[in-house]
A and B are shown apart, each in its own frame.
Chain A
Amino acid sequence: MSGMYGEIALELIKELDRHKGKLPPFQENELRQALDEMQILFEQNQRDVSMNIPGNPEFLAALHLRHAALERNKQCILAYLYTRLKVITDLRWDHGPVIPAEVRANMTEQEVQFFANYNKTLANYMGSLGENHGLDLTQDLKPPKTLMVEIRVLQDYGEFELEDGTSVLLKKDSVHFLPMSQCEALVQQKIVEVVQKQKSLHQK
């Protein structure tokens, strides 16, 4: 005797639930079996509808149950595909434009294609921001903790005047402590880099 409808599709959901926020291998077999079950359910309902004595409630039960099972399978399959795509879009923000090889191995061809398209769309959008400079939205996902930031100069720049009128001499390899808002442009132009502190004071 076969079990209850929708069991295979539920396996897909359980598998994702076991790997919260990660990408397990794509379960093509199970997906196909769930689709096959839907096909059978649909054909059985078609057959019953065409030959049924209208309004006989004894037959209606199976009809309703199969229809609910169709909806159930559909929800499971869509939720499975959708949740995987969510994980994949999150990858872009956490790991940048290149997918780690071990994750890529678990993706389908279509998912790889989706990621490439997502990448492209995001890059186009970011390029359109910030008056021709572009703006990397994937940077600074967390608000800055401090107003001031320590920077190291990468190339000789000369005098740099701050908003308060004072000026500093930006010489290669010198280190300065400047307001974050004013050196962002310098960072983008690769004239200076932010010195990564091992651990900020608040984080212990």
Chain B
Amino acid sequence: MSTGGSGATDALMAPTPRPPGGDEGGPLLDVRDLHVEFRTREGTAKAVNGVDYSVNAGETLAVLGESGSGKSVTAQAIMGILDSPPGFITRGEVVFQGRDLLKLGNEERRKIRGAKMAMIFQDALSSLNPVLSVGEQLGEMFRVHRGMSRKDSRAKAIELMERVRIPAARERVKQYPHQFSGGMRQRVMIAMALALEPELIIADEPTTALDVTVQAQVMDLLAELQREYNMGLILITHDLGVVADVADKIAVMYAGRIVETSPVHDIYRAPAHPYTRGLLDSIPRLDQKGRELYAIKGLPPNLLHIPPGCAFNPRCPRAQAVCRTDEPPLYRVSEDRASACHFWKETLDDDSLPSPDA
């Protein structure tokens, strides 16, 4: 494994506090200044506008944001599964284990996909092939990447299913995705991502399609496996509740940009961006029962026409004239925090805006 990536990148993404696994220099994955746009008939939608983040081995980065904030598109660009056309990566680097993936050929990238970095998708029912048995779909990883025989790959599939605690794996390996419950299907997806013990797993809203009790089980399983294999994990979600337990650090995205990055606990204590603050305030809380739930007013911007200045300014309770004209850079808030808000200091200090705190 080469360690070419420069450690501290333009101070945008602060170096992260020691991950349990440690590592040997550069981060496992380092995304730098990534730009992705979709060229459609209506115009060019700027889905990702300069994203920087990094993940170390054994570390969990939670990427947070509303639908259309570019969090999934970033993940697809990292995996190399962006629909192109219409999607194009116009600028940036995706440095994985010291190599810029965007400079590799198709065949080299294919070999990395599934083997070194794997992805877990949101809706396991539609993401698994309906006409192939679960065993075939799991075994395929070993057959294609490792050249195993049908028989050996089946044994591996059963082993994997036991690994993610699917009961009666030996019998169920012959079954098809529609014969599994939602939670079990998502376990199959996790098993598939885990198959070749990749260094990095990207989980794109892995629990959104599940009911709440199953959500916790699946999340726990994922966190446990991640610790065990010392994998890097990018957890894409819009659920702040899920994040608190498992993430080491958080990147909040808005309109294709990272607006705040922080270690997980600091952000809950005191957000440094009004948007993060809005997200936190819109979590239902027991002590505010009976009161109207806070919601960030307005809608996310149309990516064809991102507002000038700070993209969040039309919805921001703190917006001033400067916000409508100058795009805020990612200000360094502390050693390991950053916020793209002209008024990050005020936001950080002020406890009373935008909703009265109980």
Say whether A and B bind each other: no
Which of B's residues lie within 8 Å of A, judged by CB?
none
